Structure 1
Amino acid sequence: MSVITRSRKSSVLGGIALAGAAALVLAGCAAGTSSEPTESEVEARDLTLKIGTILPVTGSLSFLGPPEEAGVGLAASDINEVAEETGLTMDDIVWGDSGDTDNKAYATTIQTLISEGVSAAIGAASSGVTKLFLDDAVAAGIITFSPANTSLDFTTWDDNDLYWRTAPSDKLQGEVLANLVAEDAHSNVAVLYLNDSYGTGLNDVFQENFTGTGGTIVEEQSYNTGDTTFDAQISAILASNPDAVVLITFDEIYTIGPALLAAGYPAEDLYFVDGNLKNFSADDKWPADVSLEGAKGTTPAGPSTPEDFQTRLNDWWVADGNSELTDFAYANESYDAVILLALASLAANSTDAADIAGKLQEVSGGSGDGEKCESYADCADIILGGGVADYDGYSGPIGFDEVGDPQEATVGIFQYQADNSFSRIDL
């Protein structure tokens, strides 16, 4: 058995149903049914799949790095656990840092992953970062598989069928967020958003849906990546006297959030999104005496993560000397991304990126003609037996459409407690 770890031997490189909110099922055209398997397709496999990561070890989304890497590593270990039975081994992962659009760690990482000959790169978390290296990955013929990209732009990207994601687009999160704010009886809302593809896209969808409920946007302020001072934006927002403030940010929340609270704005009228929804209770960067109790937020979350799965993720992560996980954001989606790649490789009987990409819709259930299964081992048995597997994972049914977007996805709603931790409230 080969066990994948996050050790430095592989160096780090420089809806289903929603309570209290609307569910959106993303529908797409399904591919045609698969032909009957040939004898060569059901014979034993002998495959070694090599993937890399381009996830945020540093930068404004670095809080997402640990859960995403844990999801990738645990999935690879589960795949290798049954390698003798399936004939597919996950080679040592080439771990890489995406950084952000400011420190540009992705530029080195993507070139290293290409030179290492990976079939697929897991990442990035930031839509803005992925846009900066995606064309290079496509030109090199490798799959880019993001567990966290939500920008609407990827739906129409010219990616030669090599871009996939387990996170839903912001069309869903924007709708859920708008309905949440409206259902909380807010009607005059201010928005502060990051001026990049993620922030502008989510802001546009939120505003369209919120005004559609009869609400009014009383103030809209933006800022750019790398900005460190937000006094003008905060003053404009407070002057508009909003009954709620939506904050579409990344790590800038460490400055913006305490400033709003210090000015007397009530925490229960603040709304967060996936870029800044984090557990601040164990975060030295957040002032211990500043409470977010009552604030709410949304993030693509899939069904509630089972406690036993969270335990397994944490056990894998700490086994390499890391501190315990305090956040599990996008761990489900990261795990499922790796499992889907392995299943597609089995179905194609190939580790060639184009061949794998050609089977991803099928093994996700997007073609609509597979047998349901919920674990890698069970799905692999179906494939090796000559059938079509339809993997339903920790992030949900998935069911890719023809452009690599999940057709079914869920956004969770969370609320902060007095200690600045948060819990899910839409279950």
Structure 2
Amino acid sequence: MRALFLTGVMSVLATGCSFTTAAGLDECQTSEDCASDQVCVQQVCLPLPAGCLATPYGSTDADAIRMGGLFPLHTSPEAGASMDESDVQGFNAVLLALEEVNQRTLGGRKIALYFCDTGSNKDVAEKQARWLVNDKKVAAVLTAGSSQTLAVADVTLPAGVLTMSYSASSPELTAKEDTNGGPVGLLWRTSPSDAIQGSVIAHLLRTDSRFGLPSKVGILYVDDLYGQGLSNIISDQLSPLVANRPYAYERKGDVKSVMDALDMTYRPAVTVLIGFADDAVAILKEASTRANLNRDSGHRWFFSDSVKDTAVLADPVAASQARGFYGTAPAQGTGLAFSTFSARFNDRYKKDPAGYAYTSNAYDAMYLLALGASYSLSTTNTVTGAKMAEALTRVSSGTSGTNTQLTNSNFTYLAAELAAGRSVNIEGASGPLDFDANGEARAPVELWQVGDSGFVTLSSNLEPPP
């Protein structure tokens, strides 16, 4: 993956700076006057935002349609931070979709995707978003994660930039004001709200004997928008039938104190772990040393979507503690769109996309942005966030009664239907993209189990109880 991440970095744009300031900095009118690793800020060439590349993925044509991508490929902005494998594969899925779209072009134009690695830090993501919006003049931004997406939206939405997330699941996104004075919202996501996943988890723990029908459940959650939201939903729906207690931990922090409380004070039969892979590894390793939390004591784990990451299996102690236990995630699609995506992803990256959460959601998100851009060009001869959003209101309202699979070979047909003013019903690699008025696509939940060498999908059609 490292080679992929560095693709394009060695390309150098010709500099056009005409003279140097007293402080030794080149002056400029636009960023095109600066070196490839610089950006023009208040007529001075300054270094690019940390984590961003000057040369985009996709097209470098002068008339390319500009979009931005904010990906948390590393677990921290600090040097030497480990890679987040799930988001690495999400990025790969986006690049695959981008390549397929650019093979077809949109009204003779292609897409340039300006890339930034956020290091899983929402403050960094917000700064990078300002660069994408103010300097690169992007029409849309693709992002990940709930905290990051909401921070970025504070920058993008007032600027009229469409914002699409492939993995933000916090219910708080539903309530975000996103119309910017227009008739259509600018904040969209291909990942379903955790209101769905949380209800499914609580229902399984209350009713399914595979999980031991516990009388006491611990909920160990990362203290951010994602963890808080999902924890609250699970706790609310377990109560009062099943005793439960939530425990928060800081992202990438020391988990010993919270494990003390869970182990020596509460002693649950099952603990729901809501957190990212690196934290999950630390928690499971710590649990192996605890009398009431290691698997030999009879304690069980239940995992949220973000734990579905091969980094957990790469650590032998964490893997031994997790093996045989269960988790949930938004389900992958079951139609031709998913099978086509899965085969091409496997051929390209030699990995099974179903082994990671949100890969198909990321692939669909890039395709939807491309359809939005195509529609905007066909109606106004330019690409704006508002027109792209208008297109997305028309991908779930066709009258044919059947879904069109969002495959590479169907892209041109779907773009033409939208350009002709006709609505369509689309089924993507992540399933039916039935967007509601809040820009959210409801989706079923999958149940998976940690196997000896990977994650095994047991069911892909779980829904909250009525």
Structure 2: give runs of 5+ residues left out of the alignment.
11-50, 54-62, 77-82, 180-184, 461-466
1:27-426 map, 5 Å: 48-59=64-75, 62-83=84-105, 87=107, 89-101=109-121, 104-114=123-133, 115-123=135-143, 125-160=144-179, 161-182=185-206, 183=208, 184=211, 185-211=213-239, 214-217=241-244, 219-227=245-253, 229-239=254-264, 240-250=266-276, 251-264=278-291, 265-267=293-295, 269-280=300-311, 283=314, 285=315, 287=317, 290-303=320-333, 306=338, 308-317=340-349, 327-348=355-376, 349=378, 350-363=382-395, 365=396, 367-369=397-399, 372-374=403-405, 375=407, 376-384=411-419, 387-406=422-441, 408-419=442-453, 421-426=454-459
Measure the CA separation in 1 of the matches of 2:270 and 2:358: 27
| TM-aligned CA deviation for residue 414 of structure 1 | 0.8
| TM-aligned CA deviation for residue 194 of structure 1 | 1.5
- With over 3 angstroms needed to count, the CA separation of the structure-2 counterparts of 1:347 and 1:306, relative to structure 1, is closer
Measure the CA separation in 2 of the matches of 1:77 and 1:215: 49
Q: Which has the higher contact order (CA 8 A, sep 6+)?
A: 1
Structure 1: give runs of 5+ residues left out of the alignment.
15-46
- With over 3 angstroms needed to count, the CA separation of the structure-2 counterparts of 1:233 and 1:8, relative to structure 1, is same
- With over 3 angstroms needed to count, the CA separation of the structure-2 counterparts of 1:355 and 1:54, relative to structure 1, is same
Cα deviation digits, residues 252-295 of structure 1 (max 9, x gap): 11211111133253547101112222124763x55477342211
SS in 1 for 2:114: coil
Measure the CA separation in 1 of the matches of 2:403 and 2:343: 25
Do the aligned partners of 2:140 and 2:161 also contact (CA within 8 Å) in 1?
yes
Do the aligned partners of 1:273 and 1:297 also contact (CA within 8 Å) in 2?
yes
SS in 2 for 1:181: helix
Measure the CA separation in 1 of the matches of 2:118 and 2:90: 12
- With over 3 angstroms needed to count, the CA separation of the structure-2 counterparts of 1:91 and 1:342, relative to structure 1, is closer
| TM-aligned CA deviation for residue 300 of structure 1 | 1.4
The aligned amino acid for 2:368 is L
- With over 3 angstroms needed to count, the CA separation of the structure-2 counterparts of 1:51 and 1:164, relative to structure 1, is same
Measure the CA separation in 2 of the matches of 1:410 and 1:324: 20
Q: Which has the larger radius of gyration?
A: 2
Measure the CA separation in 1 of the matches of 2:355 and 2:138: 28
Measure the CA separation in 2 of the matches of 1:254 and 1:425: 23
| TM-aligned CA deviation for residue 151 of structure 1 | 0.7
- Out of 31, 48, 52, the residue aligned to residue 13 of structure 1 is 52
SS in 1 for 2:72: coil
Q: RMSD between aligned alpha carbons?
A: 2.8
The aligned amino acid for 2:458 is I
SS in 2 for 1:413: strand
Do the aligned partners of 1:317 and 1:325 also contact (CA within 8 Å) in 2?
no
Cα deviation digits, residues 302-334 of structure 1 (max 9, x gap): 33584552231244447xxxx997943211111
Measure the CA separation in 2 of the matches of 1:274 and 1:324: 16
| TM-aligned CA deviation for residue 167 of structure 1 | 0.5
Aligned positions, number? 375
State percent identity of aligned pairs: 25
